[in-house]
Structure 1
Amino acid sequence: MTTTDPLRAPNLQQVAERMRTLDAALPARDGVSVFNRVYLSVTEEIGRRSEEGFFRYPSAASELGTRFAGRYLHAVDAAAAGLRPPACWRPLFQQRRHPGVRPLQFALAGINAHVGHDLALAVVDTCRGLECEPECLETDFERVGDVLTALEDRIREDLMPGPDVLDLADPLTHLAGAWSLGRARDAAWAASRVLWGLRHTDELSAQFVTQLAEGVGLIGRFLLTPLD
């Protein structure tokens, strides 16, 4: 993918196409592949909603979506090149082939990294690019979050094991229930406001981003606790 900004994907259609290419190339059981399929369904849904006039400012929502996706794809490319992805993504890439980690855990760990860290930075990047305040994006930020929340229950249902695997389902249900997309989304918005306030203080901003990535990564490690 060629773009002047390595953290910004060209558009949502090309994002979806890149995810389909990844889906075809990765083993189905690979943890990154599991998250990629989830993210592809989210991207396709956001694209459909955008065409239906769901967003208040479609161009700004598209800009946010491409910058958001670009951070995930950049982490994929870094790992493929043998480089270290951001700390929030490392648990997923390190555990992606662990036989004791279940698909739902991979999906939640990816969502945790992407929403908990990347979303806040994507908001700030979008505000810089469009020369606007975060409040201008708040309505569409919430609407993107509504799409994610609507898909969350379906994701959990699709990836949970059946009732015949009770020895696995009990600890998995407990682990999955300890993490909330709604709380992660609220935290991402708060983090974006902090980062926007720190945008003129490079040292403090960089320190905040580093701590955010490491904190989100720590949560990811718990989510990827092997259950077998």
Structure 2
Amino acid sequence: MKRIDAEFDARDGVACFNRMYLRVTELVAASLAENYFADGAFIERMDVIFAGLYLRNVEAAKAGNPVNAAWRPLVDLRDDRRILSIQYALAGMNAHINHDLALSVILTCKERRTTPDTSPVHADYLKVNELLARVEAEVRAEFEPELVRLATADAESITHILSTFSIEAARDASWLSVQLLWPQRDIPFTYDRACAGIAETTGMVGRLLLTPVPLSAS
């Protein structure tokens, strides 16, 4: 993620999300060192798998290959200068949480021979919400000067778009996806179709978050 931060233009849509996600990763790492989680080994492994799902799409985009439907809006619109940095950051979190997070829980549970309902998987999952809430607040504050420079009507339009997304709500929805996917994990046909449906729905939300708002004349 640090390499991506150094390599991409600061206004690149993926780079805007990457800066936010790097902060999340640093907070999780610090919390692991402080024994914040009941099962630190599980969270550490899940964090690696989680990051890998994101990085896989970054590499696919660099190679000119198709990316997952959840990530497609961010990749397709990454160079649109009518879209604000905060829109890119939250659209990336939408893709990563509403799609990738559920898969990372499933994959980690399978690898460690446990289940999402086994303690303390869900309790530790909820603890991450507190870290994400901190980062979301930091990011919104960081990008607030962008909104201040806009005309009142423009700022209201963009604020309305951004208010449709909440990290906490996204994580709640992702856990519901875990509950949906877990019983289907060993039935490839239904599991793959369910994953595809989640990806498409997540992509639709991402497309909404990245709605360009024509700015009024100064």
**Are 1:83 and 2:65 counterparts?**
yes
Give the Cα separation in 2 of the matches to 1:96 and 1:85: 13
Structure 1 stretch displaced more, 165-174 or 112-121: 165-174
Give the Cα separation in 2 of the matches to 1:36 and 1:134: 28
Residue 193 of structure 2 corresponds to which residue in structure 1?
207
What do residues 96-130 of structure 1 show as CA deviations (whole Å, max 9, x unaligned)?
00011000100010000000000000000000100
Residue 180 of structure 2 corresponds to which residue in structure 1?
194
> Among residues 47, 59, 73, which one is paired with 2:29 in the alignment?
47
What do residues 122-170 of structure 1 show as CA deviations (whole Å, max 9, x unaligned)?
0000001000011231111111122111211121111132434234311
Give the Cα separation in 2 of the matches to 1:26 and 1:150: 25
What is the alpha-carbon root mean square deviation over aligned residues? Answer: 1.0
Q: 1:218 to 1:162 in 2, by over 3 A?
A: closer
Letter in 2 for 1:175: I
Residue 126 of structure 1 corresponds to which residue in structure 2?
108
Give the Cα separation in 1 of the matches to 2:162 and 2:109: 33
Identity %: 37
Give the Cα separation in 2 of the matches to 1:22 and 1:180: 25
**3-state DSSP of counterpart to 2:148:** coil
Which consecutive unaligned segments of at least 5 residues does structure 2 have? none
Give the Cα separation in 2 of the matches to 1:167 and 1:47: 40
Letter in 2 for 1:158: E
Give the Cα separation in 1 of the matches to 2:18 and 2:153: 27
Structure 1 stretch displaced more, 79-88 or 150-159: 150-159
Structure 1 stretch displaced more, 215-224 or 130-139: 130-139
Which consecutive unaligned segments of at least 5 residues does structure 1 have? 1-18
> Among residues 194, 199, 207, which one is paired with 1:221 in the alignment?
207
**Are 1:182 and 2:168 counterparts?**
yes
Give the Cα separation in 2 of the matches to 1:103 and 1:162: 10
Matches within 5 A, 1:166-177: 166-177=152-163
- Deviation of 1:227 after TM superposition, in Å, equals 1.2
Give the Cα separation in 1 of the matches to 2:159 and 2:130: 23
Give the Cα separation in 1 of the matches to 2:191 and 2:149: 49
Structure 1 stretch displaced more, 90-99 or 193-202: 193-202
**3-state DSSP of counterpart to 2:211:** coil
Residue 139 of structure 1 corresponds to which residue in structure 2?
123
What do residues 11-70 of structure 1 show as CA deviations (whole Å, max 9, x unaligned)?
xxxxxxxx1111000000000000000000010011111101111111001011111111
| Higher RCO (CA < 8 A, seq sep 6+) | 2
Give the Cα separation in 1 of the matches to 2:64 and 2:147: 37
**3-state DSSP of counterpart to 2:117:** helix
Give the Cα separation in 1 of the matches to 2:147 and 2:194: 41
Structure 1 stretch displaced more, 163-172 or 97-106: 163-172
Letter in 2 for 1:171: S
Give the Cα separation in 1 of the matches to 2:141 and 2:117: 34
